[in-house]
Chains A and B, each alone.
Chain A
């Protein structure tokens, strides 16, 4: 079902949502805009296409307590809190970030060994998306099977028509929001306008990459000196992976003593030199060559094999934020053109 909400009503609507939901939206944080919890609709920044941090930590917090433990008479007692009490809304997510969530779902929300921490948060969250009328020059969702108005992964999808948001419910959760009296009927003209916006946006975005060729070349380039060249300027920080909406590697550590403490998981990254370091001192990925290769192969090869989707959604954060301007688009082009 599709309806419409006027921009003059949007803050009142969001204010009503804040009664029942915790709301996460793009909002100002120090000098930039990022996804965080907001407490007033006025905090929302509507024209930020790519937030500094993706909404990743709404479902996978950077630091999360898995359980606490305490030693007792007949063993160590473990107490966990996977339940999510409050309903949440992520508001204003872009199609690239939603696609990233779907990739993470395939890893975490599995039938066997379901990650209850992640899955419970997903179950209690309504995801409201918004289309990208004006993609940035660093956006390349269309190159990786995405699109500025792609609706996969959303419960409700908004299109900015100028004076109003066209609002399409895609799931029951979306219908629930759409039932609010702030929404009124939309017209055929609105949907035509939305289509025109999508067409205009697509003109600024690149063509789809030849995924099969890139995957094939990646398999062939495993031992190639190509990787020595690519990684030459990489400094081995974690910016690309930590700010990536898809990346989800994590570390698990115990904080505390043998008698009591917590087991915590923290985001981690395959780009750190210590990531694969073993207690013996042996490191299967000893140099930048192996680590940079891992990132590219995981995103453009292994995810395809395992989940049937790419591990890159074209948000462009890594492109914008890499301290040495290592550009994944350029690397993928070179891989495609190799040999």
Chain B
């Protein structure tokens, strides 16, 4: 796996010294194996804590809303930069307020897959070429990295930053052939089976809203589930409440989601969220030829109506 740690630290030091940024948003070492923690380096000395690795799984663009009006730098993978472009398209962010340290990404490792592939608690991991050595109290297992990627990373079409001020490496080759294979697989199933799958996935939801809170695009000051006049969705963990929440959020993200998978990684119940958002993204791609956040200044089709669009804007 590529090493970016030193390059990130160097760039962070430069930006904090005379780049005019109030903070560099990146990752620092986590307190657990296979984890990193979002970190805000505010002083030059703090740049030393920034790291890069196969567990930088959060979409840091989520934090940009807390730095409005201030200039910050952000360490961004392909998907993160797409979020930045999407936020700019929605006027949530000004280009000159963010210094993007672009990192061509080789995909993040799914710590849950790793945990399930070994016979005990994971105490440490290390990269060796294209393999990951996973170690616990009484085991050491070698696993190919290719089998351990998060699904959103395994199917990623945009690992390279679409926008950046500094690019820390050569673009990586796209490794995925078909981004929506898993969606097509679901689409081919009969309706009853799909409905049962959705109901059983949504049935595990505990309304923790980690999916919403971790998503860069869920920046509404009042989420529809918190609205009381009227109360759109029941608050409880009844099927109506849970399915209402899942469907509502997916629809509010249509044409806005960048397939980063942060939601699924945050979910403590490991609900399949990527397929739901993936389906809607696939539809938007096919109907409107639009992929969120890839082209700067491209107008999101569901947020914009142009007079010249005519009656064909309606879905057939």
List B contacts of A324 (CB < 8 A). 37-38, 58, 214
A29-B204, A238-B208 known; A321-B268 Cβ under 8 A:
yes
Q: Is the CB of B32 within 8 A of A325?
A: yes
Mark interface residues in B21-37 (1 if CB within 8 Å of A CB, else 0): 00000000011100111
Q: Among the listed A239, A253, A272, which residue makes an inter-chain contact with B268, where contact means beta carbons less than 8 Å apart?
A: A239
Q: Does A305 contact B (CB under 8 A)?
A: no
Whether B31 lies near A63 (C-beta < 8 A) is: no
Q: Are A137 and B121 in touch, CB under 8 angstroms?
A: yes
The reply to whether B236 and A319 form a contact with Cβ atoms under 8 Å apart is: no
Is A251 part of the binding interface, using a Cβ–Cβ cutoff of 8 Å? yes
A264 to B40, CA, bound (A): 41
- Contact check, B236 vs A62: say whether CB atoms are below 8 A apart: yes
Q: CB distance B214 to A323 under 8 Å? A: yes
Q: Quick check: B31 and A32 within 8 Å, CB to CB? A: no
Judge whether A12 is part of the interface by a CB distance below 8 angstroms: no
Cα distance A319–B231 in the bound complex, in angstroms? 33
Asked if B236 contacts A264 (CB within 8 A), the reply is: yes
- B268 near A255 (CB under 8 angstroms)? no
Q: Which residues of B contact A323 (CB under 8 A)?
A: 58, 210, 213-214, 262, 265-266
Scan residues 43-64 of chain B and give those whose CB is less than 8 A from a CB of chain A.
58, 62-63
Contact A239 B31 (CB under 8 A): no
On chain B, the number of residues with a Cβ less than 8 Å from chain A's Cβ atoms is 42
Residues of B within 8 A of A238 (CB): 206-210
Query: Does A259 belong to the interface (CB within 8 Å)?
Result: no
* Least CB separation from B31: chain A residue: A327
Query: Does A202 interact with chain B (Cβ within 8 Å)?
Result: no
Q: Which secondary structure dominates where chain A touches chain B?
A: loop
Nearest CB of chain B from residue A195's CB, rounded to whole Å:
22
Complex CA distance for A242 and B269, rounded to whole angstroms? 12
| Given A62-B206, A136-B121: A233 and B236 interface contact (C-beta under 8 Å) | no
Asked whether A52 is an interface residue with its Cβ less than 8 Å from the other chain, the reply is yes
How far, in angstroms, from A215 to B234 measured CA to CA in the complex?
A: 38
8 Å CB interface, B74-89 against A: none
Bound state CA distance, A270 and B256, in angstroms?
29
Report the bound CA distance from A30 to B58 in whole Å.
24
Decide if A233 touches B38 in the complex (CB within 8 Å).
yes
Are A325 and B208 neighbours in the complex by a CB distance under 8 Å?
A: no
Picked from B31, B62, B268, the residue with its CB within 8 Å of the CB of A325 is: B31
Q: Are B112 and A31 in contact (CB under 8 A)?
A: yes
Interface residues of A in 51-72 (CB under 8 A from B): 52-53, 62-63
List of A residues within 8 angstroms of B204 by Cβ: 29-30
> Smallest distance from the beta carbon of B194 to chain A beta carbons, Å?
17
CA distance A230 to B40 in the complex (A): 11
Chain A contacts for B140, CB-based, 8 A: none
Residues 308-339 (chain A) with a chain B CB within 8 angstroms: 319-321, 323-327, 329-330
Instruction: Give the docked Cα–Cα distance between A113 and B107 (Å).
Output: 54
Within residues 253 to 268 of chain A, which ones have a CB less than 8 A from any CB in chain B? 253, 255, 264, 266-267
Contact B268 A266 (CB under 8 A): no
Q: Does A237 contact B (CB under 8 A)?
A: yes
Instruction: Report the minimal beta-carbon distance from A144 to chain B, rounded to whole angstroms.
Output: 17
Evaluate contact between B270 and A30: CB separation under 8 angstroms: yes
Taking a contact as CB atoms under 8 Å apart, the answer to whether A243 and B268 are in contact is yes
Closest to A321 in B: B268
Task: Give the docked Cα–Cα distance between A255 and B36 (Å).
Answer: 42
Residue of A nearest to B226 (CB): A274
Residue of A whose beta carbon sits closest to that of B55 = A325
Q: Is A325 a contact of B37 with CB atoms below 8 Å?
A: yes
Q: Is A40 an interface residue (CB 8 A)?
A: no
Q: With a CB–CB cut-off of 8 A, which chain A residues contact B265?
A: 323
B234, closest chain A residue (CB): A255
Please judge, given known A-B contacts A62-B236, A63-B237, whether A233 and B39 are in contact too, CB under 8 Å. Answer: yes
Interface centre among A136, A321, A323, A327 (most CB of B within 10 A): A323
In angstroms, Cα B231 to Cα A53, docked, is 28
- Interface residue A138 (Cβ < 8 Å from any Cβ of B): yes
**Cβ contacts under 8 Å, A30 to chain B:** 200-201, 204, 269-270
Would you call B235 an interface residue if the criterion is a C-beta within 8 Å of the partner chain's C-beta atoms?
Answer: yes
Report 13 cross-chain contacts, Cβ distance below 8 Å, ordered by A residue. Answer: A31-B112, A52-B268, A63-B241, A233-B39, A237-B266, A239-B268, A253-B235, A255-B236, A266-B237, A267-B206, A323-B213, A327-B32, A330-B31
Q: CB within 8 Å of A: which residues of B? A: 30-32, 35-40, 58, 62-63, 112, 116, 121, 123, 137, 200-201, 204, 206-210, 212-214, 226, 231, 234-238, 241, 262, 265-266, 268-270
| Top 10 closest pairs, chain A to chain B, by CB | A63-B236, A323-B266, A237-B210, A237-B213, A238-B208, A235-B213, A325-B37, A327-B31, A233-B38, A325-B30
Interface of A with B (CB < 8 Å)? 29-32, 52-53, 62-63, 134, 136-138, 232-233, 235-239, 242-243, 251, 253, 255, 264, 266-267, 269, 272, 274, 319-321, 323-327, 329-330
Q: Given A253-B236, A269-B208, 9 other A-B contacts at CB below 8 A?
A: A30-B200, A30-B270, A32-B269, A235-B210, A239-B208, A239-B266, A255-B234, A255-B236, A319-B31
